[in-house]
Every structure is written in structure tokens, then in C-alpha cells.
Amino acid sequence: MPSIKDVARLAGVSVGTVSNVLNRPEMVARETRMRVEAAVAQLGYVRNGSARQLRAGRSTTIAVVALDLTNPFFIDVLNGVETAAQDVDVNVMVVNSSKDAAREARLLRMFEEERPLGVLITPVNASGQRERLGGLISRGIPVVTFDSSSRHSYGCAVSVDDVLGGRLAGRHLLDRGHRRIAFAGGPFPVRQVEDRHHGLAGVLGPDGELTVIPLPDLTVATGRQAGKELAGLAREERPTAVFCANDLVAMGVLQELTQRGLRVPADVAILGYDDIDFAAAAAVPLSSIRQPREQLGRTAALMLLEEANSPGGHEHRHVVFQPDLVERVSTAHP
């Protein structure tokens, strides 16, 4: 495997010069540069990343710790991150915590060793967050949390106003004439779930009647569970609309209701959250609360890069985006 020394020897220059050709080509004489470039090509030389990083003390890739890659929401966020990173020639690597705190801890420990340019993370849960992220932060590795489960973060953060999302949902359903409304989601310690519920409840006020269908998880499977519960209720006490804590749940509810002969939206209206592509593609296209996913990712990446590039003082910021409502058939007028 040719090293920079081999290149130097072949080109008849010193290693310093080769390094200059590679990193600051403008400061080496044209003729020398060409000789070096020829040698590089001839040997098929490629720089050694570890050596560079060791010397430089910093990497050039940012790490994203995704909470759950099976949720398309994160994939879209990821796209935003990659867009921003690409512009400044920074690489993005993704790892998957799969909502597993132990696994997340392992990954973060690994990053303490690898020292990426920065870490973008949706932490698994609030408890222990401080300890798990502390190692990175104290080592000077910028950490930006996005869509965090915790209300207060250590460092920069970007999120979407979930209380507002809940309010949008509530107003929309009231507008459509619904008064008996269900909220399907959980677990409740999760901030997003709590906030969305809270926003909804706040808007309904005394006029509405709010039923909560608690779920252990936000997946299609638990959504079906919720659908089953709804379908089991007598018509006169069944909510006429369900607000689901995310689109996966909404899809499950939709499927179960449909299969049990209930019509959406005529019998029960369904409103989801996240506006994932699959939601629009459902049999009854789902209305949903849309989060600016790519923008979320892009902004998070930009904040991370900014922090990484300002060695001195850096003001941590907290950017909050606003969700909006996407109306589709599942909440149309009966």
C-alpha cells in the first residue's frame, strides 16, 4: 500500500511537498505539483484517513444516531442532514439506536473514541441523557439533539412544536363537527406524545369529550390494537374521530376499522401525525400533521457544523419549527 513517502520518493520531492500538493496546491510550483500528481496517479495513492485524523485531531464526518430507522420520519430528516453536509463536503454516517438505551450508550462510547466532527441525536429517553451525552460534550464534540424526548437539552437543539400540532389537530376536528374525540398514543412519559395530547386537550375544552387510548408504542401493530378497541365500542359512545400520535398508528387504526366494516371518515375520522409518504398513499389518504422533516435535519446539521467551526464561544440555540395540517380524505366532511 503506497504511502505519502512512496509518492515523495517517486516524484523526487519531500513528503512535506506532497502533503502541500494534496492540501494547499496553490502554494507549490506548477511544475512540481504536476510531477507529484503524476506520481500519485501512477501509484494509485490514496490518503490514509486515520493518519490524517490523528494528526488533525478532528474527523470530517458527522454521526447521526437515529432513534428508529423503521420510521420513515427519520429517513426524511436524514436526507436533510445529508443535504446540508454535502454542501460543505462533510460525510454523514448513520447508526441506529433502535430505541434501545444500552445500544445507544454503546454507540456513544464508540463515538467518544472515534471523535467525529459532531453528533446529531434523538436520545432514547430523557433519563440518563445527561450522562450518556456528557462524555462527548466534555470532549469537545458538538452534540445537537433533534426531536428530542427531553424538554431541556444540553447544547443546541431543534424540534417541532408538538403542543401546537395537537392544537391544530383539535381545531381541525372541532371544525369538522366532531365532539367525541379519541387520542391514541403512548407511552406518556414521551414528550412528543404528551405534548400532542396536551395540545389537543387544551383546544377541546369542556365542549369536547376526550377519550385516551393509551398505547405502549407507536407502531402499526399497536395502532391496530387501538382500532380494535374503537370498533368494539357501541356506536353511540364511540368517538367520531381519532387523533393518532403518529402516522404508523393511524395506519393501523385505519386498517382495523376498515376491516371491521367501519367507514373512514363517515363513521370515524382519522388524523395522523408526521405526514409520512405512506400516509398519503393509504387506502383512505390520511390527513396528518406535517413536520418540516428535511428542514429539521438540515437545520440541525447546520447548527452542528457551526458549532464545530467556532472553537471559541458558541451560543447554544434552540430552534423550534411549526407543524401544519395536511387535509386529506380521512377527515373530510362526512
State the nearest-atom distance from the C-beta of 151 to DNA, in Å.
35
Contact between 3 and its own copies per CB under 8 A:
no
Candidates 119, 152, 151, 159; CA nearest to 135 is 119
> 3 is in the binding site of which of DNA, its own copies, none (Cβ under 5 to 8 A by kind)?
DNA
Q: Which is nearer to its own copies, 169 or 248 (CB)?
A: 248
Contact between 225 and its own copies per CB under 8 A:
no
Contact between 48 and its own copies per CB under 8 A:
yes
Contact 148, 306 (CB under 8 A): no
Q: Kindly state the greatest CA–CA separation across the chain.
A: 90
How many degrees, rounded to 5, is the angle at CA 124 between CA 119 and CA 130? Answer: 65
Contact between 54 and its own copies per CB under 8 A:
yes
d(CA 186, CA 264): 23
Q: Which is nearer to DNA, 29 or 102 (CB)?
A: 29
**177-216: which residues touch its own copies (CB under 8 A)?**
none
Q: Which is nearer to its own copies, 281 or 320 (CB)?
A: 281
Contact 14, 28 (CB under 8 A): no
Residues near DNA (CB under 7 A) are 1, 3-5, 12-17, 19-20, 22-23, 27-29, 31-33, 45, 47-48, 51-52, 54-57
State the nearest-atom distance from the C-beta of 62 to its own copies, in Å.
12
Alpha-carbon separation of residue 209 from 4, 55, 170 (angstroms): 73, 64, 11
Q: Which is nearer to its own copies, 206 or 312 (CB)?
A: 312
> 285 is in the binding site of which of DNA, its own copies, none (Cβ under 5 to 8 A by kind)?
its own copies
> 107 is in the binding site of which of its own copies, DNA, none (Cβ under 5 to 8 A by kind)?
its own copies
State the nearest-atom distance from the C-beta of 211 to its own copies, in Å.
23
d(CA 34, CA 210): 74
Q: What is the dihedral of CA 71, 77, 81, 84, to 10 degrees?
A: 150
d(CA 312, CA 302): 17
State the nearest-atom distance from the C-beta of 289 to its own copies, in Å.
20
State the nearest-atom distance from the C-beta of 284 to its own copies, in Å.
7
DSSP H helical ranges for the chain: 4-11, 15-23, 30-43, 49-56, 72-87, 101-114, 129-138, 162-175, 191-204, 220-232, 247-259, 277-280, 293-309
State the nearest-atom distance from the C-beta of 308 to DNA, in Å.
15
Other residues' Cβ atoms within 10 Å of the Cβ of residue 6: 16
> 45 is in the binding site of which of DNA, its own copies, none (Cβ under 5 to 8 A by kind)?
DNA
DSSP string computed for 267-312: T-EEEEEE--HHHHTSSSPPEEEE--HHHHHHHHHHHHHHHHH--S
Contact 65, 107 (CB under 8 A): yes
> 23 is in the binding site of which of DNA, its own copies, none (Cβ under 5 to 8 A by kind)?
DNA
Q: Which is nearer to DNA, 2 or 187 (CB)?
A: 2
Reduce the DSSP state of residue 153 to 3 states and report it: coil
Stretch that binds its own copies, among 138-146, 172-180, 193-201, 300-308 (CB under 8 A): 138-146
Q: Which is nearer to its own copies, 115 or 178 (CB)?
A: 115
> 41 is in the binding site of which of its own copies, DNA, none (Cβ under 5 to 8 A by kind)?
none
Interacting residues with its own copies (CB under 8 A): 1, 44, 46-54, 59, 61, 63, 69-70, 72, 75-76, 78-79, 82, 91-96, 98, 107, 109-110, 112-115, 135, 138-140, 220, 224, 251-252, 254-255, 258, 277-278, 281-285
